[in-house]
Chains A and B, each alone.
Chain A
Amino acid sequence: MATAATGQKAFYQQLKRYYSFYTGGFIAFIIFVAILEQLGVPAKILGYIFLFATIMLYAGIGFMSKTAEVSEYYVAGRRVPAVFNGMATGADWMSAASFIGMAGTLYASGYDGLAFIMGWTGGYVLVALMLAPYLRKFGQFTIPDFLGARYGGHLPRFIGILAAILVSFVYVVAQIYGVGLITSRFTGLEFGIGVFVGLAGILVCSFLGGMKAVTWTQVAQYIILIVAYLIPVIWLSVKHTGVPIPQITAYTTALPKVIELEKEFNNKDTPKGAAEESVRAIFRERAAAADAKLKALEAGGAAYLAEEKAKLEAKVAELKAANADPKAIEAAEKAVKDFPTDPAKAKEQWTKDKTAAAGKAGPVRSHAEAFPGKDEKAREVARKNFLVLVFCLMVGTAALPHILMRFYTTPSVREARRSVFWSLFFIFLLYFTAPALAILVKYEVYANLVGSSFAQLPAWVSNWAAVDKTLMAITDINKDGIVQLAEITIGTDLVVLATPEIAGLPYVISGLVAAGGLAAALSTADGLLLTIANALSHDLYYKMIDPNAPTTRRIAVSKGLLLAVALTAAYVTSLKPGDILFLVGAAFSLAASAFFPSLVLGVFWKRANKTGAVIGMIAGLGVCMYYMIQTYPFFGINAPKWWDINPIGAGIFGIPVGFLGVIIGSLLTPAPSKEIQELVDHVRYPNLEGDINTQAA
């Protein structure tokens, strides 16, 4: 015992030394790239250097941590100290959506976006209080392991496997999408190739060393992503306020000014308000025009479409005959080419045009206002959906297998409890900065960009508008030569990506931000792929199909599956399936409905038994999926909503049904056996006299 403790202490010291060196080395690397930039090396090359240097680094750590031992492969040898497990969990948790998308969502939706901030942090309270220490005491490899042991028999484990795969797969597709996006944006590689380059980085690491390699890589990735996130924001804060604490200055200095400007934009009697109004009037006309076309289409169908197309073609011919300006001819020809080919497409495109124009025609939304709506009823619905979303995200957090699995890797129950604290602390560093960043960028746009002249746009605006129209589009709608807020369209991803330039930092920092985003996406993808592969290799193959399989074969099977799952996920991603944000949100509701009731009752209610767990998991997951399929537009059914709840909040129905399922199912059937009740006592106490041992090697 004593030697194990000293061994662990020495290990901890060694880790601290390694990662301090690593952080120093990384900073030296940034300085080196900065010098290259000053020497005139082009930005594209710098992008490549960042991309390949970091991927090589992760591969290197993966290679050094390669292992063939079962407990190292599945749970990193259970010797990860609390602080380091916290960093690894932080990286595992914060995905491309957190790193790149969140500040943008907050920029676009103000208070409403805070549902993600609260939901994705508050869930850790549930992890800490209701799951992590107990799962650690149980001490096996996967979440289906716990369901299998606690409820007995193959059925609960099998449902667990299916749910874990469903949830993780939906989530991993979103991550690989992020990887492809970042690599293609910063190196100019094609999206499909970017996906596979990133995938190589993910695989080298998890393939060689399983959980052990993934853990140590994730710690390294956390350090990169947090440095990359904080530097530009701090700089931006200094630029605007002179104080390097954005988390305070955003609220004390920038937010009041933003609120003041919002009022000015919405007041037609001020010069800025009047200019905004003139742009809005044009958008109102456009929305009305799109609406008129839609109505005509409804009445005339394909004949109307052909007629309109003929008109456009006639215009091209007319312009050509009159020898008009080639640019005008080109524009007219483009209009013919882009004209929708059939009524269904026309309806889709014009509806989109109508919503886009209508969105720009209204007044500016107040950033800090909670639950805006046109009347009391709309506000009530907004508030309800906000609370429901927060609840689903929180409970979902406490039910995602790839996160819960991380708490198997600490040396003790005691360290597991501390480790949840460190996890949330490291996550908190990014999450409490994101809303501040959104406000600072909004301030920059409202105060400096709006009102500037189109002839002299700030460099970051023209740069990004040239790169990608979906991220930054700016057109002088009312032809007054001055920028109005309604003339700017900002994509959510832009906020984080453009911050270094807004703050006036050199390109090396933009490269660093890209590397941070990549680290966030890769680390999450790593954890998810491992979860899926383990559910298949450990739970399905070893525990259910061939319990006598030798160690080498178990690991070989796992690695083979990892490869297969990764390639499948990359293939699905390259098809660019629908709405990525919805996929991520859906994963939370699904996980919450499937796992949370049976995991929590498994610890806190001895009477819960197999029948209850099976009914609870199936019913919870079933109700949640049913509601999503019925109401989410993608599936095309569009049934009326229950109590106005949006499909992303389907967990609000799934979770209670899951709990009821476990409770009713258990009470109708006999109590679980004495052995299982002893298992419950076993997980409740970190150490008992004459205790049983459930820990797997």
Chain B
Amino acid sequence: MQLTERHKEYWRKNLRITGILLAIWFVVTYVASFFARDLNNITIIGPLGFYMGAQGALIVYVLIIWYYAKYMNRLDQEYGVHEGEDE
């Protein structure tokens, strides 16, 4: 089994998207929670700091995973490493 340049590029792209999405995850979780007291002074559907923890962050998590699945399933096709079956 020999990995080609294209294979390596696929992996690099995977690492890049993983890194970007983890950065978003980190910001909505830890940065938002860290500043929760300050964010509570802003009101969007309730105090923002509270709202982020109760709903906002969760919505972002769902979107992150949805986007990752979509992106990677397309990347598999593009780089010819997809599994044989379906579509």
Contacts and interface: CB of A to CB of B under 8 A. Distances in A.
Contacts of A687: 76, 81-84
B78 interface: no
B40 A369 contact: yes
B33 A414 contact: no
Contact of B86 (A8, A130, A133, A435): A8
Given A1-B85, A117-B53, A255-B46, A129 B22 contact: yes
A237 to B, nearest CB: 15
The secondary structure that dominates the B interface is helix
Contacts of A5: 85-86
A122 B86 contact: no
Nearest to B43: A256
A101 to B, nearest CB: 17
Contacts of A685: 7, 10-11, 81
Interface stretch (A142-150, A419-427, A497-505, A581-589): A419-427
A495 interface: no
Main secondary structure of the interface of A (DSSP, over half): helix
B83 A251 contact: no
Interface string A1-42: 100110011000000000000000000000000000000000
A247 to B, nearest CB: 7
A579 to B, nearest CB: 24
Contacts of B3: 681
B61 A125 contact: yes
B36 A371 contact: yes
Given A1-B85, A8-B86, A118 B57 contact: yes
A597 B45 CA distance: 38
Contact of B34 (A383, A413, A420): A383
Given A129-B18, A251-B46, A411-B85, A121 B76 contact: no
A414 B73 contact: yes
Given A129-B68, A370-B50, A122 B61 contact: yes
A460 interface: no
Contacts of A299: none
B61 A121 contact: yes
Interface residues of A, number: 62
A111 B51 CA distance: 9
B1 A368 contact: no
B83 to A, nearest CB: 5
A428 B62 CA distance: 8
Contacts of B37: 369-371, 379
Interface in B51-81: 51, 53-55, 57-59, 61-62, 64-66, 68-69, 72-73, 76, 81
Contact of A124 (B50, B61, B73, B76): B61
Q: How many interface residues does chain B have, given as a range?
A: 35 or more
Nearest to B73: A414
B1 A692 contact: yes
A8 B85 contact: yes
A125 B65 contact: yes
Nearest to A691: B1
A8 B29 CA distance: 38
Interface in B1-38: 1, 3, 7, 10-11, 14, 18, 21-22, 25, 29-30, 33-34, 36-37
Given A386-B33, A390-B30, A421 B85 contact: no
Nearest to A386: B33
Interface in A301-330: none
A368 B82 contact: no
B38 to A, nearest CB: 9
Interface in A370-413: 370-371, 379, 383, 386-387, 390-391, 394, 411-413
Nearest to A384: B34
Most chain-B Cβ atoms within 10 A of its Cβ — which of A387, A421, A428?
A421
B7 A688 contact: yes
Contact of A417 (B73, B84, B86): B73
Interface in A86-135: 111, 114, 117-118, 121-122, 124-125, 128-130, 133
Nearest to B24: A125
Given A125-B25, A370-B37, A424-B65, A247 B55 contact: yes
A122 B57 contact: yes
Contacts of B62: 421, 424-425, 428
A412 B83 contact: yes
B7 to A, nearest CB: 7
A122 B53 contact: no
Contacts of B51: 251
A424 B34 CA distance: 24
Nearest to B17: A129
B63 to A, nearest CB: 9
Given A125-B25, A252-B46, A420 B69 contact: yes
B58 to A, nearest CB: 5
A451 interface: no
B86 A121 contact: no
A418 interface: yes
A431 interface: yes
Contacts of B7: 685, 688
Contacts of A686: 76, 81-83
Contact of A122 (B25, B50, B76): B25
A248 interface: yes
Nearest to A130: B18
B85 A432 contact: no
A690 interface: yes
A368 B50 contact: yes
Contacts of A9: 86
Given A130-B18, A688-B81, A251 B1 contact: no
A111 B57 contact: no
A368 B46 contact: yes
Interface centre among A124, A125, A414, A436, by most chain B C-beta atoms within 10 angstroms, is A125
Contact of B50 (A111, A379, A692): A111
Nearest to B54: A435
User: Top 6 closest A-B pairs, CB basis?
Assistant: A251-B46, A114-B53, A370-B36, A435-B54, A417-B69, A368-B50
Given A122-B58, A248-B45, A390-B30, 13 more contacts: A114-B54, A118-B29, A125-B61, A128-B68, A251-B51, A251-B54, A255-B46, A370-B37, A370-B50, A414-B73, A414-B82, A685-B10, A689-B1
11 contacts: A5-B86, A111-B36, A122-B61, A370-B33, A383-B33, A386-B33, A417-B72, A424-B65, A432-B58, A687-B76, A688-B81
